[in-house]
Amino acid sequence: MFKGSNVALVTPFKNDKLDDEAYINLIHFHIQNGTNGLVPAGTTGESPTLSHDEHERVIELCVKESNGKLPVFAGTGSNSTEEAISLTTHAEKIGANGALIVTPYYNKPTQEGLYQHYKAINDKCGIPILIYNIPGRSVIDMSVDTMARLFELKNIIGVKDATGDLDRVDQSLNKMGKEFIQLTGNDDNALEFNKRGGVGAISVTANIAPKLCSDFQKLSKSKNDNEMEEAKKLDKILQPLHHAMFVESNPSPVKYAAKLLNLCDDDVRLPLVKVTAETKDIVKKALHSAKLV
């Protein structure tokens, strides 16, 4: 149900308020351009600065507008277990297909604390859960052994791996087998990630290049040599875009790119700020190199 190119949706703002119209248009843009799944209210969706009501609304709009055409894995993580349970049960109630739950940031729980956090959420909900392991933002790195323990629970189905460590793919595959879904959170390593046993990505770049990302993902899992060569060509086209999206803190660069493509404004919420002139040039060049403008 959840593989290929899945977009970590930006949350459009206008005058510091949710821009519902732009957000709805974005969702239909992805439905029409080959995206395989939608991930609202994640890091790229600026979840840390969404109010609780806004967070729930973003997910509700995504579920409503996708209308079953694409699976929705809602970002429902928090460093408060109680809040994560609340967001996850709400996502389940309104019809999300699953939840993406980040490792608790700032608290610095032990591996046992991580296990108990996810177990508590698992025990209170009935939808699939993807672990979001991103030590670069949350400080904590969940071990493969802890993931294996969690995979024994009824709702834990896989991981969005943003460690950048490709050996994790092999380790998880050996420990938990092919049934454990592995999605990369690093666009730039998607080709090798899939070669090693991954099944897709939760992508920032897909916000602005959905068809390229979707075509790449499909070809990268092919057993056909010619199609794999095509995947490599697409990967080379996409790499400058991947790089440009992280020249400054995500999602500021991708929102600027989205503005250039008339998808939404480039407003972000403090403490994030709009990108510098230098970064704007990098983003423009990347869009030109991929023939998106």
- Phi, then psi, of 103 in degrees rounded to 5: -60, 140
* Helix, strand, coil percent values for the chain (each to nearest 5): 50, 15, 35
C-alpha 145/C-alpha 150 separation (Å) is 9
| Helix axis angle, 167-176 to 144-151, nearest 10° | 40
- Select which of 115, 118, 160, 255 is catalytic: 160
Of 120, 121, 180, nearest in space to 145 by CA: 180
- Select which of 23, 115, 118, 132 is catalytic: 132
- Residue 227: which residues within 8 A CB-CB, separation 6 or more? 219
C-alpha 82/C-alpha 99 separation (Å) is 15
Cα 149 versus chain centre, distance: 23
Q: Which two tokens stand for residue 183?
A: 């999605």
Let me know if 118 is a catalytic residue.
no
Alpha helices by DSSP H, listed for the chain, are: 20-32, 52-66, 81-93, 111-124, 135-138, 144-151, 167-176, 190-195, 210-220, 225-244, 252-260, 277-289
Q: Which residues are catalytic?
A: 132, 160
